[in-house]
Every structure is written in C-alpha cells, then in structure tokens.
C-alpha cells in the first residue's frame, strides 16, 4: 500500500517537473523573438518617420530611406505570387485529385519534398544561368520574382495538397453521384472548400520569400538604387505599362545588408529600422494568414 | 448462436450450383426487371467481396439488401452507379445491365449513368452551401441557369422530399444548419432534382432518431411510385416495412431473394431464417 503511495507521489513530482521544463522551453522561443524586437526598436525607432519611407538611399545616413527597397520588395512579391500561385495550386490539385498512384507519381512527390530542402543560394545560381543569361531577362524585377517563385513553389504545392486532403471524401462522392465531372467537382467543391488552407500556405510562403537575400544577390540585385521602376499604371493610352518588370531593383533585406556593411554607426541605425519594418511586414502577413484560416474554417461545417 | 453457425453455413452454401440458384431467384420476380445483375464478383485487391451474384431488381419497387456487416451489400449497391470506380485496385467480373445496357461496357458514360442512378449516403452530406444551391447543383452542372426553372425545381423536389414546409422561408440558409434528419431529406431532394430512374440508399437512417427515420420511411413509400429504390439496411424491421423485395447476403454470396412478405414469413433457406430471427449476425 505504502509502495503504491510512493509511486503515485513520484509520478506527481515527474508531472510537475515536466510542466516547468515545458514552460521554460516555450519561453526560449518567445524570449528570443521579443529580445530581437526590443533590440531592433531601441536602435531603429528614432529613425522611423514618414521620410524614412519616402526617401531614396543616400550618402547621408539621416537623409537615407527605404523607398526603393519597399517598392522593389512589393513588385518582386507581386511577380512571385502571380507565378507561384497558379502553378503551385494546379500542381497540387493534379497530384491530389488526378494523378494515378504509381511509381512516377511517387517519384514526383519525393522530388517536390526534396526541392523544398534545396538551399536558396542554389536557386539563385540556377536563376542566374537560366533567367538572367539564357532567357535574357537581365537583373530585373521579373528575374527576381521568378526566382523566388521557384523557391516557394514546393511550399505552395505541399500546402495546396494538405488543404485539399482536408476536404472530406463525402463531398466528392456527393458531387460525383449527381453526375458532376471530376473538374466540376474540383472547381465547385474541392477548391472552394480548401481556399482557406491554400491561402494560408501561400501567405506563409510569401512571408518566407520576402526575407530572402542570397538568391537575389546571386542574380545581381543592386544595393544602391535611387530611382523607382516605371509605374505599372500610366496616364496615357494604353494605361498599363510592363516596363517595371525589366527594371533593376533592390529589396528590403539587401538594403539592410548594404547599410550594415558600412563603417558609420548611423547607417547601422537605419538597418535596424529597416529590419523592424521587414519584421512588421512578415508578422502582418502571418496575421492575415491566421485570419483567413479562421474565417474560412468558421464558414465551413460538415 | 456464436461462431459455430458461420462455418456450418459456409459448408451448406458452397455445394449449391450458382445457375440453379439463379433459376429459383428469377422465378420469384414477377415484375419487369430494370437492373439485371449477372454472375457479378467484386474484388478489393485480392480480397473477394462479392461471389457470383445473380438477381434482378424490378422497376418502380423498393428492393432491400440485408445481411450482417461485411456481407457485401454496400459493395453491390456502389457497383450499381459505379461509385466503386473511385476506390483503387478494385475489379468487377460479370455483368450489370440497366434497361438491358451493360453499365460496365467501355462505351458507357459514367456521368450519364450517375444521372440515371442517384445515391443517398449513410452519413448525410449536403454541400456547405445554401439549401437552394444544394438542390439545384445537379442542374447547375448541366448548364441550367434560368431562375424561374430553378425555383420550380427547388420547390418541386423539396416537396417530394417532404421538406418544403420546414424550409420554404429559409431557402438561402446554410444547409448544414439543418437538423440531421432534415439534412438527409435535403440530400434526397438534391438526388431527385436530377430526375434519376433509380435511387440507391446506403443505410439512409442508420444515424437518425426514430422520428426522422419514420419520415424517411414514409418518403420511400411515396417515392417508389415514381422511382426504383434499392436500399441497404441493417434494420430488418425497416426492410420489412419499406421494401417489396428483399435480398439476403451472407459472406459475399446472395443466399435468398424474393418478395419481402414471403422472405420474412416463410424463407426458403435455413440461413435466411436464422438471420431474420436473430440467431446470428
């Protein structure tokens, strides 16, 4: 009897011990993120002003801003999203709904999984050879967007498949039993019911891409740009211009890298401020992803 | 009572030649057959789920498929609209005809077949859309767009499914907000809207309370004037109540097929009697 009592006491102590260890482990991640944010804020907060967003980089740290960097990042992300989303979603739908289960499909699946693990600089090297030289796209917004699109393609495909798999088989059966074709079933049911999951995956992938530096340096992103690409919208006919696609560019992390590698301490403050904004962009994107997931999950009930 | 009858059963059934059984079976059907099942065997990979099934399903009658779990009745039901095509590694031998046409022939259009042979599932599965959208989906996919025509279809089929009075003021409400029994009747309305000839029902009441079950049974009685109904059920009282013909399956074989009244009162086979009197299964 006493023995059992002892064992029970021991079990209880172990339980308490793990609760403490688990709590500490959780705090490691939390504390790191907050320490990082606080550190960036202490350094960069004083540089945050309207001017910081509307100024081009400059030789004078107090006049330097991130205008070309945030515009560049936005345009590159636009190209990335427009190319990675349709291709990735189509591939995910094909693999999940259409592909026969055979060795070829398995091989493709293994390849996609491995592709997600390829170091990003390798994508940069490939893009330098393919987009910049072979296709003659130059060191442009287009090359950069396509490079990052390739980088996040595996993430988009995997996210799409996961989202599609969460749609119950009974929905497909219901549609097929009414005489819907496979495409109608996919278009009317599978895709609409998995939109939340797909969007979440896409946004998480884009927030990965927005912080990427190495592949863009490899394809020749400039570190000092004092002009903006042509505006996509024009006041004259035909009102839309594609010139921005071929324009040289810089992006947020490269701008930071440029400032941090300068000797003057004032530039380091600029880098911290830019870092703060980049983090805010990433966290905002993740927040949007969580919101989408919540909204779509709430709407769907089966 | 326990495991002994199973092996004993198997021995008793095996020696009977399939052809003779078929002659008996078809003799039991006076009605014009709509679906003819000829020597059908079905395999999931190497496992055989149906063994040389022969019988005919008469038109505009309700036919119940009964038998213990795993006897192959749901498999057979899903062969009739080729739903089993969705499962990998399955194979069908033999022939199933609808109006004399082989539904497994290479020239058969599966989509067309499924429009003629509708299905109600064990767990109700309305789309997470409005009640209205659910009913008209079968028409949407063939390009019907006229609002007036669609409105008419919605009312007609919700009435047929005895759901109209309960939902007529809320047609644009989400279908999944309805109660379980209402959702199942909505699924019936959705299947009827396609105007099929046959309606397959896979244990449509197994997850419903007695009141909802009674409503659906009543519905089946009305529907069989217009449609041919094939219903899989675990509930023998239900089979006795709603069906005109009953097929009893055991371990992938058809043991007995005949008029429900006769099968339940004077079964020809010993196994059937054992099952319906609750001695096993």
User: What are the DSSP calls for A158-179, one per residue?
Assistant: HHHHHHHHTS-HHHHHHHHHTT
Q: What is the spatial distance between Cα A48 and Cα A23, in angstroms, rounded to a whole number?
A: 35
Cis check for the bond before A238: say yes or no (omega within 30 of 0).
yes
Residues of A in contact with B126 (CB under 8 A): 174
Count CB-CB contacts under 10 A for residue B108. Answer: 14
Judged by a CB distance cut-off of 8 A, whether residue A177 touches chain B is yes
Distance, in angstroms, between B19 CA and closest chain A CA? 33
Contact state of B187 with A189 under an 8 Å Cβ cutoff: no
Distance, in angstroms, between B249 CA and closest chain A CA? 24
Going across the sheet that includes B33-44, the strands are: B47-58, B33-44, B90-98, B101-102
**pTM attached to this predicted model:** 0.81
Q: Which residue has the tokens 């069908």?
A: B92
CA atoms within 13 A on the CB side of B222: 13
Cβ atoms of residues B50 and B72 within 8 Å: yes
Residue A250 binned pLDDT confidence (cut-offs 50, 70, 90): confident
Give the three-state DSSP class for A140.
Answer: coil
Q: CA torsion angle for A174, A180, A186, A191 (degrees, to 10)?
A: -60
Token pair listed for B265 = 């009162």
- Per-window interface: A 23-52 vs B, CB < 8 A: none
Chain A CA closest to residue B190: A178
Cβ atoms of residues B164 and B158 within 8 Å: yes
Give the model's pLDDT for residue B147: 92
Token pair listed for B112 = 């067309």
Closest CA to B247 of B231, B235, B258: B258
Give the model's pLDDT for residue B19: 43
Does the structure show a pLDDT above 90 at A294? no
Give the three-state DSSP class for A213.
Answer: coil
Residues of B in contact with A181 (CB under 8 A): 111, 141
Give the model's pLDDT for residue B186: 95
Contact state of B194 with A300 under an 8 Å Cβ cutoff: no
Report the alpha-carbon angle A98-A104-A110, nearest 5: 95
Going across the sheet that includes B62-66, the strands are: B117-120, B198-202, B228-232, B62-66, B245-250, B253-259
Cβ atoms of residues B188 and B219 within 8 Å: yes
- Longest C-alpha distance within chain B, in Å? 62
- Which of A166, A172, A173, A174 is the mutation pick for testing B, counting most B CBs within 10 A? A174
What letter would DSSP give residue A117?
T
Cβ atoms of residues A105 and A172 within 8 Å: no
Q: Which residue has the tokens 């046959």?
A: B198
Judged by a CB distance cut-off of 8 A, whether residue A298 touches chain B is no
Q: Give me the DSSP letters along B142-162.
A: TT---HHHHHHHHHHHHHHTT
Chain B positions with Cβ closer than 8 Å to A:
81, 83, 86, 88, 111-112, 114-115, 118-119, 121, 123, 125-128, 137-138, 140-142, 174, 176-177, 187, 190-191, 194
Closest CA to A135 of A146, A151, A150, A120: A146
Residues of A in contact with B125 (CB under 8 A): 168, 170-171, 173-174, 302
Q: What is the spatial distance between Cα B106 and Cα A261, in angstroms, rounded to a whole number?
A: 70
Does the structure show a pLDDT above 60 at A226? yes
- ipTM, 2 dp: 0.84
**Phi, psi (rounded to 5 degrees) for B66:** -125, 165
Contact state of A177 with B114 under an 8 Å Cβ cutoff: yes
Give the whole-number percent of chain A exceeding pLDDT 90.
Answer: 38
* Residue B51, CA distances (Å) to A272, B18, B83, B98, B230 in order: 75, 10, 19, 20, 19
Give the model's pLDDT for residue B93: 93
Burial readout B111-126 (b: 16 or more C-beta within 10 A, e: otherwise): bebbbbbbbbbbbbbb
Chain B CA closest to residue A177: B114
Token pair listed for B276 = 């319906």
Q: Give me the DSSP letters along chain B.
A: --SHHHHHHHHHHTTS-HHHHHHHHHHT--SPEEEEEEEEEEEETTEEEEEEEEEEEETTSEEEEE-STTSSHHHHHHHTTTGGGGSTTEEEEEEEEETTEETTSTT--HHHHHHHEEEE-SS----SSBHHHHHHHHHHTTT---HHHHHHHHHHHHHHTT-HHHHGGGTTSBGGGS-HHHHHHHHHHHHHTT--SEEEEESTTTTS-HHHHHHHHHHHHHHTTTSEEEEE-S-HHHHHHH-SEEEEEETTEEEEEEEHHHHHHS-SSHHHHHHHTTS--
Give the model's pLDDT for residue B23: 45
Tens digit of pLDDT for each residue in B18-61? 444 444 444 445 567 899 999 999 999 999 999 999 999 999 99
Give the model's pLDDT for residue A243: 75
Dihedral over Cα of A287, A288, A292, A293: its sign: negative
Nearest to B194 among A178, A188, A299 (CB): A178
Spans in chain B with pLDDT lower than 50: 1-28
Q: Which residue has the tokens 């072979």?
A: A134
Tens digit of pLDDT for each residue in A48-106? 888 788 888 877 777 888 888 888 898 899 999 999 999 999 999 999 999 888 899 99
Q: Which residue has the higher pLDDT, A147 or A229?
A: A147
CA distance from start to end of chain A: 51
What angle do the packed helices A103-115 and A141-165 form, to 10 degrees?
130
Q: Average pLDDT, whole number, for chain A?
A: 87
Judged by a CB distance cut-off of 8 A, whether residue A165 touches chain B is no
Give the model's pLDDT for residue B130: 94
Nearest to A179 among B115, B128, B176 (CB): B115
Residue B83's Cβ-count burial label (10 Å; 0-12, 13-18, 19+) is buried
What letter would DSSP give residue A232?
S
């Amino acid at each position: 009897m006493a023995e059992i009592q002892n064992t029970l006491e021991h079990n209880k102590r172990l339980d308490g011990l793990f609760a403490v260890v688990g709590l500490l482990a959780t705090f490691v991640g939390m504390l790191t993120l907050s320490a990082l944010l606080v550190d960036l804020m202490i350094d960069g907060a004083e540089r945050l002003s309207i001017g910081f967003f509307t100024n081009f980089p400059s030789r004078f740290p107090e006049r330097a801003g991130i205008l070309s960097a945030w515009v560049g990042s936005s345009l590159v992300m636009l190209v990335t999203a427009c190319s990675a989303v349709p291709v990735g979603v189509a591939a995910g739908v094909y693999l999940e709904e259409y592909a026969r289960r055979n060795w070829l499909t398995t091989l493709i699946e293994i390849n996609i999984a491995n592709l997600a693990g390829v170091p990003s600089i390798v994508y940069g090297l490939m893009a330098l050879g393919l987009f910049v030289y072979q296709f003659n796209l130059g060191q442009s917004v287009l090359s950069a967007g396509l490079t990052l699109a390739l980088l996040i393609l595996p993430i988009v495909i995997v996210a799409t498949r996961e989202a599609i798999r969460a749609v119950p088989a009974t929905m497909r059966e219901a549609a097929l039993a009414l005489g819907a074709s496979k495409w109608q079933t996919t278009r009317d049911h599978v895709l609409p019911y998995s939109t939340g999951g797909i969007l979440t995956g896409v946004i998480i992938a884009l927030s990965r891409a927005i912080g990427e530096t190495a592949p863009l340096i490899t394809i020749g992103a400039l570190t000092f740009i004092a002009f903006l690409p042509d505006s996509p919208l024009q006041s004259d006919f035909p009102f839309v211009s594609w010139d921005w696609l071929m324009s040289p560019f810089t992006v947020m992390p490269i701008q930071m890298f440029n400032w941090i590698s300068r000797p003057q301490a004032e530039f380091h403050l600029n880098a911290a401020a830019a870092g703060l904004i980049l983090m805010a962009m990433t966290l905002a994107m993740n927040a949007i992803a969580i919101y989408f997931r919540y909204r779509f999950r709430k709407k769907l009930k089966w | 009572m326990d495991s002994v009858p199973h092996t004993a059963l198997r021995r008793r059934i095996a020696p009977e030649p399939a052809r003779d059984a078929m002659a008996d079976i078809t003799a039991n059907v006076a009605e014009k057959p709509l679906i003819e099942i000829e020597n059908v065997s079905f395999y999931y990979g190497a496992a055989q789920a149906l063994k040389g099934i022969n019988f005919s399903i008469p038109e505009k009658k309700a036919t119940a498929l009964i038998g213990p779990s795993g006897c192959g009745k749901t498999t057979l039901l899903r062969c009739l609209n080729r739903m089993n095509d969705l499962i990998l590694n399955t194979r069908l031998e033999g022939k199933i005809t609808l109006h004399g046409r082989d539904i497994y022939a290479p020239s058969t259009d599966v989509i067309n077949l499924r429009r003629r042979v509708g299905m109600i599932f064990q767990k109700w599965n309305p789309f997470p859309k409005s009640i209205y959208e659910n009913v008209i989906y079968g028409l949407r996919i063939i390009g019907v767009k006229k609002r007036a025509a669609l409105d008419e279809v919605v009312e007609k089929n919700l009435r047929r499914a005895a759901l109209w009075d309960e939902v007529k003021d809320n047609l644009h409400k989400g279908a999944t907000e309805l109660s379980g029994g209402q959702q199942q009747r909505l699924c019936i309305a959705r299947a009827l809207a396609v105007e099929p000839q046959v309606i397959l029902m896979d244990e449509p009441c197994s997850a419903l309370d007695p009141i909802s079950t009674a409503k659906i049974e009543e519905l089946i009685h009305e529907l069989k004037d217009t449609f041919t109904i094939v219903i899989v059920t675990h509930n023998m009282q239900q089979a006795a109540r709603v069906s005109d013909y009953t097929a009893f399956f055991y371990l992938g074989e058809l043991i007995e097929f005949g008029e429900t009244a006769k099968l339940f009162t004077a079964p020809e086979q010993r196994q059937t009697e054992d099952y319906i009197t609750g001695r096993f299964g």
